[in-house]
Amino acid sequence: MSPDLAFLIEVVVGGLLSGVMYALVAIGFVLIYKTSGVLNFAQGAMVLFAALTFVSLTERGLPFPAALAATLAAMGVVGLAVERTVLRPLVNQPPITLFMATLGVAYVIEGAAQLAWGTQVHGLDLGIDDTPIDLGGVLVSRFDLFAAATAGLMVALLSAFFRYTRTGLAFRAVADDPLAALNTGLRLPRIWSAVWIAAGIVALVAGLLWGARLGVQFSLSLVVLKALPVLVLGGFDSIAGAIVAGLIVGAVEKVSEVYLGPVIGGGIEGWIAYVAALGFLLVRPSGLFGLRAVERV
Amino acid sequence: MSAAPTLLQVEALEVVYGGAVHALHGVDLAVRAGEIVALVGANGAGKTTLLRAVSNLLPALRGQVTAGRLAYDGRDVTRTRTDALVRAGLVGVLEGRHCFRGLSVQENLVAGGLGRGSGRSDVRADLERVYGLFPRLAAKREVAAGLLSGGEQQMAAIGRALMGRPRLLVLDEPSMGLAPRVVEEIYRVLAGLNRAEGLTLLVAEQNVRLALRHAHHAVVLENGRSALAGSAASLRARDDVRSLYLGGAECPEAAAPPEARRRAPA
């Protein structure tokens, strides 16, 4: 294999693996959007809250599993509390109202997290060393592989949950046709609660992986901005779309940074995903896998 | 029949959508246990709105009951959540079928059982019952509902409602867009359930002839008001109903003066 080709593959693989991390954040959005039509801007704040809680607990001497369990419980409580106190009273309000509410929630959660745990930057060590391993001439980050495997496992668990449990069936029914689900007697508030808890758990996984990568700090909540182009590309209501789009965005970012960067100046990584998403919007407004709304009035 | 208790009572019901659009202004309707009641009327007369109000679905559609009374089996419907109504035996089949298109037929049916809160053994028993009523569904139990024909989707939607073990089944235009033979099959099953198990039915139909053939009583909606009510046989016999809804030879104006056609809401 020529060194140039090996380098290209390396860049693409690196991009794909970092794309998994974007997908992870995007899945949290999709879960809530699919079942309740709410674009939860607070997902990023939940990621920050999870990472900050976990790291602060371990720094106070809690062993890893205990801290993980405590954070998991905390995320469940946060998800439930947001659903109960903010979104349920606003049910049947226009989407923009719900979006604004989650924007407010995002700031409250960020503030609460920093009030409780302080504002300094924490390192988060998950015990995976980040030395690259050599896979047939292509160097791949060990941590990225671990992150991808974790994300894959989580997606598999979520899929199994939706496929084989009664709550999962109810979730799919609501996502498929909310009015019919309501009419069938499915208790939407219960399903929303379950989904917010699930989104909290997804935020925990994303928070740990992103926190280990970037350090646990306020800017962690800005990963939402990385998830938005992924959502536009993949469709707001498709988990598969979130994964595929995450991979595409990751790869596009890295490839353009490496190959376009020297031509038009660096820093492409920050905005190229938005350009790609905007371009894509013109062609397919509902995203790669999003449902096109066909309504009979 | 008249001794049977009233299961659903609608009195002077008014409904407004989005705070501005008056969809119903003064609807009266009573459904007694064991009856089949048809709700007939032209497009836009308010049949769908009334049935949505009966299932308390209006809040989810930005609609609101602004006046009147709506009671199911002693409950104030406007203050009872849809899922509670379903568990109390009031189950609806929406206009346009509204199957869960991405879910298999069996999953659609199981979802109906979940809505009622059925345990696993109840769900199993009810599945067999629905497959017995609609053998075509049994053959397609693993097929995504969105891929079924219109008639099969209607059967799946009715089957899903039956999984809720209704006492009052509310159907919105079950014949819409379906071949006559399929419509016959569906009505045969529904009428059979009414006879054999005393299942009470409230059916909105644009096909008045069909509705009056199967129903015991009927209510005619016109422009959001209940204009006429009575036994199906008496309505069938009326000249104005014939000419307006059953394709009689006379043109509507010639049938009868409006005062005689309309009965003031009780």
CATH number (domain holding residue A138)? 1.10.3470
CA distance A102 to chain B (A): 20
Domain-located, residue A295:
no
A 91-120 residues inside an 8 A Cβ radius of B: 92
Q: Is A173 touching B (CB cutoff 8 A)?
A: yes
Which residues of chain A have a CB within 8 Å of the CB of B85?
Answer: 185
Q: Would you call A169 and B83 a contact, using CB atoms and an 8 Å cutoff?
A: no
Q: What is the reported pLDDT for B247?
A: 63
Asked whether residue A288 is domain-assigned, the answer is no
Type of residue found at B89: G
Neighbours of B154 (CB within 10 A): 27
Query: Crossing angle, helix A43-59 and helix A3-36, to 10 degrees?
Result: 110
Residue B17's H or E segment, with its range, is strand B6-17
Q: pLDDT band at A283, cuts 50/70/90? A: confident
Q: CA of A136 to nearest chain B CA: how many angstroms apart?
A: 42
Mutate to test the interface with B, among A162, A183, A292 (most CBs of B within 10 A): A183
Selection from B45, B57, B51, B59 nearest residue B8 by Cα: B51
Task: In whole angstroms, give the CA distance from residue A144 to residue A150.
Answer: 10
Q: How far apart are CA B140 and CA B147, in angstroms?
A: 10
Contacts of A297 by beta carbon, 8 Å cutoff, 6+ apart: none
pLDDT more than 70, % of chain A: 97
Condensed to tens digits (0 to 9), the pLDDT of residues A86-110 reads 998 888 888 899 999 999 999 999 9
Q: Nearest Cα to B49, choosing from B9, B28, B77, B22? A: B22
Confidence of residue A128 (pLDDT cuts 50, 70, 90): confident
State the virtual CA torsion across A26, A31, A32, A37 in degrees, nearest 10: 100
Q: Does B249 touch chain A (CB under 8 A)?
A: no
User: A225 — phi, psi (to 5°)?
Assistant: -70, -25
Q: Which fold has domain B6-89+166-261?
A: Rossmann fold (3.40.50)
Which residues on A lie below 8 Å from B167 (Cβ)? none
- 266 residues of chain B, pLDDT tens digit each: 456 899 999 999 999 998 889 999 999 999 999 999 999 988 889 999 999 999 999 998 989 999 999 999 999 999 999 999 999 999 999 999 999 999 999 999 999 999 999 999 999 999 999 999 999 999 999 999 999 999 999 999 999 999 999 999 999 999 999 999 999 999 999 999 999 999 999 999 988 889 999 999 999 999 999 988 999 988 888 877 777 776 654 444 444 444 444 444 43
A125 touches chain B (CB under 8 A): no
Phi, psi (deg, nearest 5) at residue B262: -95, 140
Query: Using alpha carbons only, what angle is made at residue A203 by residues A201 and A209, rounded to the nearest 5 degrees?
Result: 110
User: Which phi and psi angles does B59 have, rounded to 5°?
Assistant: -55, -35
Q: What is the per-residue pLDDT for A269?
A: 79
Chain B residue numbers touching A182 (CB-CB < 8 A): 57, 60, 82-83
Q: Do A172 and B101 touch (CB under 8 A)?
A: no
- Between A166, A172, A185, which is nearest B83 by CB? A185
Q: Which of B92, B102, B110 has the CB atom closest to A183's CB atom?
A: B92
Q: Is B227 helix (H, G, I), strand (E, B) or coil?
A: strand
The model's pTM is 0.82
Give the residue from A276, A273, A254, A250 showing the smallest Cα distance to A19: A250
- For A43-54, what is the mean pLDDT? 93
Report residue A74's pLDDT band, with 50, 70 and 90 as the boundaries: very high
Please state the domain extents for chain B: 6-89+166-261
Task: Give the C-alpha separation, A26 to A243, whole Å.
Answer: 8
Whether A25 maps to a domain, the answer reads yes
A173 contacts in B (CB within 8 Å)?
100, 103, 107-108, 111, 114
Give a yes or no: residue A289 inside a domain: no
Does some domain include residue A68?
A: yes
Q: Which of A173, A187, A188 sits opposite B111 (nearest CB)?
A: A173
Q: Output the pLDDT for position A141.
A: 84
Q: Is A297 on the interface with B (CB under 8 A)?
A: no
User: What confidence score (pLDDT) does residue B263 get?
Assistant: 47
**Residue that is written with structure tokens 């996502």 in the block:** A175
Cβ–Cβ < 8 Å for A57, A67: yes
- Structural contact between residues B200 and B165, judged by C-beta atoms closer than 8 angstroms: no
Which of B43, B51, B83, B154 to probe by mutation at the A interface, max A CB count within 10 Å?
B83
Distance from CA of B6 to the nearest CA of A (A): 23
- Give the C-alpha separation, A51 to A47, whole Å: 6
pLDDT digits (tens, 9 = 90+) for A183-192: 999 999 889 9
What ipTM did this prediction achieve?
Answer: 0.88
Contacts of B57 in chain A (CB under 8 A): 179, 182-183
User: Smallest Cβ distance to A169: which of B86, B91, B107?
Assistant: B107
φ and ψ of B83, to 5 deg: -65, -35
Structural domain of A166? 3-283
Q: Is B189 helix (H, G, I), strand (E, B) or coil?
A: helix
Give chain A's domain count: 1
Q: Which residues lie closer than 8 Å to A163 by C-beta, 6 or more apart?
A: none
CB contact under 8 A, A179 and B57: yes
Higher pLDDT residue, A6 or B153?
B153
Question: B59: which chain A residues are within 8 Å (Cβ-Cβ)?
Answer: 92
pLDDT tens digit sequence for A217-246: 888 888 888 888 999 888 888 888 899 999
* pLDDT value for A71: 95
CB pairs under 8 A between A and B: 79
pLDDT digit string (tens) for A49-58?
A: 999 999 999 9
Residues of B in contact with A169 (CB under 8 A): 103, 107, 110-111, 114
Q: What whole-number distance in Å separates Cα of residue B226 and Cα of residue A173? A: 35
Nearest by CB to A186, which of B92, B115, B161? B115
CA-based nearest distance A171→chain B, Å: 10
Is residue A293 a part of any domain in this protein?
no
Q: Please give the single-letter amino acid code of residue B117.
A: G
Among A27-36, A261-270, B74-83, the least confident range: A261-270
A184 has a chain B CB within 8 A of its CB: yes
- Per the listing, tokens 């970037």 go with A214
DSSP state string for A254-297: HHIIIIIHHHH-S-GGGTHHHHHHHHHHHH-TT-SSPPPP----
Q: How far is Cα B159 from Cα A282, in angstroms, rounded to an integer?
A: 42
Share of chain A above pLDDT 90, in %: 38
Tally of CB atoms within 10 A around B80? 18
Average pLDDT over residues A250-268: 85
Whether the CB-CB separation of A12 and A142 falls below 8 Å is answered with no
Q: What is the pLDDT of residue B259?
A: 45
- Average pLDDT score over chain A: 87
Please answer yes or no on whether B100 and A92 come within 8 Å at the CB atom: no
List the single residue in B94, B101, B116 with the smallest CB-CB distance to A183: B94
Length of chain B: 266
The three-class DSSP label of residue A138 is: strand
Say whether B83 and A166 touch across the interface (CB within 8 A). no
pLDDT in tens, A131-160: 888 877 788 888 888 888 998 898 889 889
Closest partner CB to A172 (pick from B103, B112, B115): B103
Look up tokens 């599993």; give the residue. Answer: A65
* Min Cα separation A172/chain B (Å): 8
Query: Which amino acid is located at A151 in the chain?
Result: A
| Nearest residue to B261 via CA among B232, B212, B226 | B226
What distance in Å separates residue A8's CA from the closest CA in chain B? 39
